Structure 1
Amino acid sequence: MVEFFIAWRHVVERKFQSIFSILGVGIAVTVFVVSLTISNGLNKNMINTLLTMSPHILVKSRKDAFFENYNSVIDSTKGIKEVTAVIPQINSQSILKYKGFAKGVLAKGMTAENVKKDLKLRILNGNNNISELNSVLIGEELSKEMNAKVGQEISLVSAENKEVKLIVRGIFKTGFLDYDSNLVVVPLKTMQIMSERGEVATEVGIITANPQKVDKVFEEVRANLPSKDFGAITWKKLNENLLHAVQFEKYVLIAILSLLLLVASFAVSVILNMIVREKIKDIGILKSIGYTNSNIRKIFTIEGLIIGVLGIVFSMIFSPLVLILLKELFKIYMASGRYYYLDELPLYISSGEISTIYIVTFFIVFISTIYPASRAAKMKPVEALKYE
């Protein structure tokens, strides 16, 4: 293709300007990809941490805080394909006491099987086995605050003023400070005994295969509830304000980063305008030997697209290197213990997002070539040949 050959020659001849334009596009796209990857990773990590102790769907009784027929709720979910676990539990505000220390905590009663199989707790010391009625799991920050270790005995006082002695079986870390400093996990049976209400639960938590697509499962769960005495709510509804804030933050970030692409495309347009001015005589010669306006327009459009594509290729190579470097630097920074909830820099970007970035970049660069390419195409051969 002759137009491509001429466009390539223009790019090669103007090395400094071409490199400047390619770097401008490449750096802008790299910043976009890196920033969005880190932002996505942090948001995903935050949501995963939040869901460590929070079920995807929560079922409660509309009549009483405690309800006996929670097994009927469990049975109603058995035919739902996306449901992976059903967890009856008792949540109760309690007081934890140890060697003169006392603190208000949230006691979460769960079965040993649910804790072991369905609760994604990272155990730092001990284990997550609470099969014995006098077992308790406490968060890392709470253990530091109390100076309590695995194997030691602590006291739990319920809202009904019932006190029970428990042995610390394990110390966990969720990465969510509120959980790790204010939550204890005890056997469901122990909480039932302390409540003196028999085999009851305050809520039934439902875990689904995909928490992001919980709405469809929620409709099935709600339709299958054994009676109208039960109500259900999703984790998205419970954390609606937080999720809206995260989404808004992402939109603002994308809007700001898009300005970088516009600046880079403006630089491409300026460089092409400079080349058009320098190649006026060449344009006149091409037109005098039969090149049409369409041919001239193609040459400068292709020239701009070459710069854009090379910038995108630069970003494809450089973005992973920058992310690897940032991840290693973050590990070094983490060694100082300055961040609590992150063990490493979380990174995530979907193939759809990265494809969209490259397609939009290509489109913006193409738009930036329209004016200089049209300006070159409109030149009259006689005026171009007379240009000094």
Structure 2
Amino acid sequence: MFGRFERMVAARYLRARKGERFASIIALFSLVGIALGVATLIIVMAVMNGFKADLMSRILGLNGDLTIFGSGSLITNYQDDLVAIRQVKGVTRAMAMAEGTVLISAGPYSTGGLLRGLSTEDLKRFSAVSDHFIAGSVAAFEGDDTVAIGSTMAARAGLSVGDRITLMSPNGRATPFGTMPRIRAYRVGGIFDAGVNDYDSSVVLMPLGAAQKFLMMPGAVSLIQVTTTDPMSVRPVTRAIAERLDDPRLRVMDWAQSNNAFLGAVTVEQNVLFLILSLIILVAAFNVISSLIMMVKDKAADIAVLRTLGASRGSIMRIFLMCGSFVGVVGTVTGTVIGVVFCLNLERIRQIIQRVTGVNPFDPTVYYLERLPYRLVWSQVLEVVLMALVLSLLATLYPSWRAARTDPIEALRHE
């Protein structure tokens, strides 16, 4: 498509000579703008993908892929329901939980929280928590006098393994003087760090039998939490479980239904950021147009000479297309390399910033995350690269067309 003569002339035009440096500086700024736009877009999209994936893994890891709960009542026949659920294809884990809101206190510290009761066997399979015990052990999670608390709650209350913590449940017994809340002290048998500040600061885990007794739900549970082989294809499993249980008192809700507003907001934010940051590349493309127009004006006499020597309009157009495309291609490749390398070293860069400033830029108590996650989706990287190349090519069309339409006689008349 591009002949040797056209490549030679384009390469010569790209090398700035004395008196022609201004247009070349603008072209350099255009190249830097495209590189920065591509790198920024790749980095932001990777961080947003990582943020979304990290949130999903934490939410699903702690709350399961789907939940079965009684519509306005407790699940009394949960043992048979567990057997039926575990027979559904795609189910990897199902565990019953007794759940209730409690007031947690330890000395001067007090806060509202969520009490969750589950069996010791289920806790051992609950890897999102059992694999992250930082004090105590899962083996101590048994009996009627033991609880496990999160690391944030333990730090705020100044608790360690063996200390006592008091729980108060609003579900008490009716007396002539009104309903009396249930109050009891428990021993801290373990401290876990699930990696989600809200969970670590407000959830108390208790053996199922003790939780049923404390929450006054003997022989019943509040919900059944289910994990599947593929959370992205949870809808068929949800329908299969609903059909197998076939109980109008039970309701099955998957993660997409319970978190649709939250995850939908993240997706919308991701799309809007992509659109906004794409404008950086568009602005750089306009700089390519201005630099090429200035180059065409400076090279008007050269174009006229080339035309008189026999160069066709198509040849002139291809010369300037190559000049503009060079800026777009080099800028895109440079930006892609910078973006990918930056993403692969993102955590290291964060640690350097933290050491230099002495401030954690991603405080888990504020940002819900303990580190800045990233996830490079190569199809998105390819989309960014193609978009930058297409915009750069489109930016070269008009100046190249104007160069091809230059009249040799008019151009040489003013020389």
Q: TM-score, normalised by structure 1?
A: 0.89
Q: Which of 114, 117, 123 is the equivalent residue of 2:133?
A: 123
1:60 and 1:232 in contact (8 A); partners too: yes
Q: Is 1:257 aligned to residue 277 of structure 2?
A: yes
1:26 and 1:315 in contact (8 A); partners too: yes
Q: What amino acid is the match of 2:306?
A: L
1:173 equivalent in structure 2: 193
Note the C-alpha offset of 1:100: 6.4
> How many residues of Structure 1 are paired with residues of Structure 2 in the alignment?
387
1:218 equivalent in structure 2: 238
Q: Which of 195, 206, 219 is the equivalent residue of 2:226?
A: 206
What CA distance in whole angstroms lies between the structure 2 residues aligned with 1:183 and 1:236?
Answer: 23
2:150 equivalent in structure 1: 139
What CA distance in whole angstroms lies between the structure 2 residues aligned with 1:12 and 1:92?
Answer: 73
Q: What amino acid is the match of 1:361?
A: A
Q: Is 1:40 aligned to residue 63 of structure 2?
A: no
Cα deviation code 1:347-377 (max 9, x no counterpart): 2231111111111111111111111111112
Note the C-alpha offset of 1:164: 4.7
2:68 equivalent in structure 1: 59
Q: 1:5 to 1:105 in 2, by over 3 A?
A: same
What CA distance in whole angstroms lies between the structure 2 residues aligned with 1:135 and 1:209?
Answer: 32
2:90 equivalent in structure 1: 82
2:90 and 2:229 in contact (8 A); partners too: yes
1:301 and 1:370 in contact (8 A); partners too: yes
1:91 equivalent in structure 2: 99
Unaligned runs of 5+ in 1: none
What CA distance in whole angstroms lies between the structure 2 residues aligned with 1:98 and 1:49?
Answer: 28
Note the C-alpha offset of 1:167: 2.3
> Displaced runs of 4+ in structure 1, greater than 6 A?
none
1:52 and 1:174 in contact (8 A); partners too: no
1:371 equivalent in structure 2: 398
Note the C-alpha offset of 1:326: 3.4
What CA distance in whole angstroms lies between the structure 1 residues aligned with 2:290 and 2:300?
Answer: 16
1:95 and 1:103 in contact (8 A); partners too: yes
Structure 1 stretch displaced more, 23-32 or 322-331: 322-331
Q: What amino acid is the match of 2:38?
A: V
Structure 1 stretch displaced more, 277-286 or 325-334: 325-334
Q: How does 1:274-293 map to 2 (within 5 A)?
A: 274-293=294-313
Q: 1:172 to 1:272 in 2, by over 3 A?
A: same
Q: Is 1:7 aligned to residue 10 of structure 2?
A: yes
What CA distance in whole angstroms lies between the structure 1 residues aligned with 2:318 and 2:291?
Answer: 16
Q: 1:221 to 1:353 in 2, by over 3 A?
A: farther
1:381 equivalent in structure 2: 408
Matched position secondary structure for 2:279? helix
1:12 and 1:18 in contact (8 A); partners too: no
Q: What amino acid is the match of 1:358?
A: V
Q: What amino acid is the match of 1:275?
A: M
Note the C-alpha offset of 1:241: 2.3
2:383 equivalent in structure 1: 356
Q: What amino acid is the match of 1:137?
A: A
Cα deviation code 1:187-246 (max 9, x no counterpart): 112222334544321111111234344334333333333423321112222222222322
Structure 1 stretch displaced more, 2-11 or 371-380: 2-11
1:347 equivalent in structure 2: 374
Matched position secondary structure for 1:199? coil
Note the C-alpha offset of 1:260: 0.6
Q: TM-score, normalised by structure 2?
A: 0.84
2:177 equivalent in structure 1: none
Q: Is 1:105 aligned to residue 103 of structure 2?
A: no
1:331 and 1:344 in contact (8 A); partners too: no
Q: Is 1:149 aligned to residue 169 of structure 2?
A: no
Q: 1:132 to 1:99 in 2, by over 3 A?
A: same
Matched position secondary structure for 1:201? coil
1:50 equivalent in structure 2: 59
Unaligned runs of 5+ in 2: 173-180
Note the C-alpha offset of 1:268: 0.9
Note the C-alpha offset of 1:59: 0.9
2:162 and 2:189 in contact (8 A); partners too: yes
Note the C-alpha offset of 1:138: 0.7
1:293 and 1:378 in contact (8 A); partners too: yes
